Amino acid sequence: MRLLELHVDFIEYEPVGKEAKLAEDAEKRLFRFEDALVMLVSVEPEDEDAEAEEAVKDATEHMKSLKINRLVIYPFAHLSNNLARPEHALEILKTLERKARETGVEVHRAPFGWNKALRLSIKGHPLAERSRAFAKEKREKKEQTSPAPRKEYYILDTDGKIYPASTYPLDRAPQEFRILVEREALGMESRREQTAEPEYIRILRRYGIDWEEMSDLGHMRYGPEGAVIYDLVAAYAEQVARETGLPVYSVKGTNMFSLENRAIREHAGLFGQRMYRVEVDGRSYVMRYAACFQQFALAKDWVISYKHLPFGEFEVADSYRLEQSGELVLGFRVRRMNMPDFHIFCRDLEEAKQVFKRIHGKIYEEIEKLGRDYVSLYNLTSKSFFEENRDFFMELVKRERKPVLLSFYPEGSGYYWVLNIEYHIIDRMNRPREIGTVQMDIGNAERFGITYVDKEGQRRYPVILHTAIIGTIERWIYAVLDTALRKNPPELPTWLSPTQVRIIPLSQDFVERAVKLAERLNKLMIRADVDDRDESLDKKVREAEVSWIPYIVTLGRRELEKKTLSVRVRRERRVVEMKPRELIKRLKEETRGYPAKPMPLPTLVSIRPLYSTGK
């Protein structure tokens, strides 16, 4: 924002003609104000309410030194060659006017969008003319140097008692919860030092999942096998959302939103500095860091009745967060993530609490399917909300069956949510790793103009729950791999294995029959291939084992004569003789209730290119 401030004997202006579609209503007459500070204003694309507030504070202090109490705000596009869009400029000018009135000075604002005849007389003293500039970048640098607000940590036990985190007897707590408290509340590092590259990264790379070196840091790529894992998890995330029993509307949209829109700008301001910003044609945009912007932009245009609530919007949203380069971890902390975002719109707080409990239970149900458990951090922005809803919190803790860590932000922190639960696993390196999340939002419906009509015909703002039930795609895969590596032998769930059945013909004479069997399995959406290479049986079996293929079938003369298959079952670490229909039945039972995808590679191993990263 650029301003020229003039202490005048008088200013006269007369609206002559409209020059913009957004021109305000105005009388075509002469306006005159005497002994005033005239603020000529050029609004720029990144200007926010904070810049307007700073400009008003600066101007009113100047007015006190001049001993005047009259301010004239005058739109003036000639102070900058980087102007905001008209709707944004008008919005900021109105904010200037409102903020100035709140200080008690007399305020007049010239109409926006008009050609105006202008005449003024500037006083001759040294302080009568001054130029000012207020930039978001400068304000943000100042904010970065300010100390972060301190959070207070407490522990809510299963009996309802609350303890300061520093005084809680951790020796009686479950080990995984103790690790969470030590790391998050007490600032203690993991007990196990990381001395080598984590094994899960080697597994990711085996499936062709790695950093994309031709992009920015923190952006991942997926080879054919990694891509099928990604697609299966994405499909599963939507399936899990629908299993909540709520109406779910799948949507899609853009990942780039204008910072000249007030709702986007305010939301982005609360998110902080971890945003990708894009300049296009002199305009400022933000890359979405979750699906909120697109889903809210859609919901504000819907005609919603109380009869439609609660319902959810769902999208696997490519989301961008400018994480610190030194904190990036392949498959866990990334800059471009894929968020299965599920926003649930509820009539009021009471309905939101009931749905929240349902989501809380579903989040636990999903991690328990992996044979794992969560330890939880409850972030709160209001102690009064916690005290007024103790019964609700105790119901959540009852499902947890263990203590929870509470983190209270300072009152008045300005967040749009009152409760945000982070669900952590403790990984093989004894580190808390946030996977699932759910949040109760009481501010964004009003910010984005999302309303519904209640029974009395009145417009109301819904309460919105934000959740990623299984976390981001990347983090769910991380949880699956961390779980797999705890097993002997390590294994992916069968439904998630890129190749579910590897068929190894004992000689070239049996390749054709092996291919027919693979085709039969693939038609049933069982991912099967044939290792027809001219290699030894031991090598083929060993490579299939290294690839964690759950079923390895050897096919030779004996199997054809007996019409059976010799099946090496990875989980059982033994070879089982079974008929093809028995293998099919077993695979269908293991994958029942999960998404299916076709084989991502050619059936014959011999014709595949080498697509490994080689790392």
Which tokens sit at 154? 């407490």
Specify the residue for token string 């909540």. 244
Which tokens sit at 96? 């200037």
114, part of any domain: yes
Q: At 596, which CATH number?
A: 3.40.50.800
Contact between 321 and 288 under an 8 Å Cβ cutoff? The reply is no
Which tokens sit at 357? 């409990």
Looking at residue 187, its pLDDT comes to 83
Clarify whether residues 13 and 109 are in a common domain: yes
pLDDT mean for each 10 residues of the chain (615 residues): 95 92 91 96 88 94 94 93 87 94 95 94 92 76 55 94 93 92 85 67 94 94 96 97 97 93 85 83 88 96 97 96 90 94 97 97 97 96 94 96 94 82 95 96 95 96 97 97 95 97 95 96 97 94 95 94 94 94 96 95 92 49
260, part of any domain: no
Looking at residue 121, its pLDDT comes to 95
Q: Catalogue the E-assigned strands of 228-271.
A: 248-250, 256-258
90, part of any domain: yes
Clarify whether residues 578 and 597 are in a common domain: yes
Which tokens sit at 258? 């204008």
265, part of any domain: no
Specify the residue for token string 């207070």. 152
Contact between 101 and 60 under an 8 Å Cβ cutoff? The reply is no
The DSSP line for 24-73 is PP--SS-EEEEEEEEEEEE--TT--HHHHHHHHHHHHHHHHHHT--EEEE
Clarify whether residues 127 and 168 are in a common domain: no
Clarify whether residues 480 and 510 are in a common domain: no
Indicate the number of domains in the chain: 3
Q: At 404, which CATH number?
A: 3.30.930.10
Clarify whether residues 75 and 17 are in a common domain: yes
The DSSP line for 471-522 is --HHHHHHHHHHHHTTSSS----GGG-S-SEEEEESSGGGHHHHHHHHHHHH
Q: Out of 88, 108, 142, pick the residue that ends a domain.
A: 142
Q: At 73, which CATH number?
A: 3.50.80.10
Looking at residue 459, its pLDDT comes to 96
Clarify whether residues 57 and 173 are in a common domain: no
Q: Out of 81, 115, 142, pick the residue that ends a domain.
A: 142
Clarify whether residues 54 and 171 are in a common domain: no
Mention every residue, 6+ apart, whose C-beta is less than 8 A from residue 570: 489, 491, 545, 548, 549, 550, 551, 552
- The CA angle 341-346-349, to the nearest 5 degrees, is 115
277, part of any domain: no
Clarify whether residues 526 and 477 are in a common domain: no
Q: How far is CA 7 from CA 36, 37, 66, 94, in A?
A: 6, 5, 8, 21
SS3 state of residue 305: strand
Q: Out of 463, 484, 505, pick the residue that ends a domain.
A: 484
Which tokens sit at 394? 């105790």
Looking at residue 135, its pLDDT comes to 81
Q: Number of helices (H) and strands (E) in the chain: give both, helices first.
A: 17, 28
Q: Are strands 336-346 and 375-380 parallel, antiparallel or unpaired?
A: unpaired
Side-chain half-sphere exposure of 323, counting CA atoms within 13 A: 18
279, part of any domain: no
Clarify whether residues 340 and 473 are in a common domain: yes
d(C-alpha 318, C-alpha 325), whole Å? 19
Clarify whether residues 470 and 538 are in a common domain: no
d(C-alpha 194, C-alpha 83), whole Å? 51
CB atoms within 10 A of CB 338: 20
Contact between 278 and 421 under an 8 Å Cβ cutoff? The reply is no
Q: Which domain holds residue 518?
A: 494-607
- Going by C-alpha positions, the residue among 240, 295, 168 that lies closest to residue 473 is 240
Clarify whether residues 168 and 133 are in a common domain: no
d(C-alpha 469, C-alpha 482), whole Å? 18
283, part of any domain: no
Residues 26-64: pLDDT tens digits?
999 999 999 999 999 999 888 888 899 999 999 999 999
Clarify whether residues 49 and 121 are in a common domain: yes
Q: Catalogue the E-assigned strands of 97-200.
A: 106-109, 114-122, 129-133, 152-156, 162-164
221, part of any domain: yes
Which tokens sit at 578? 């079974």
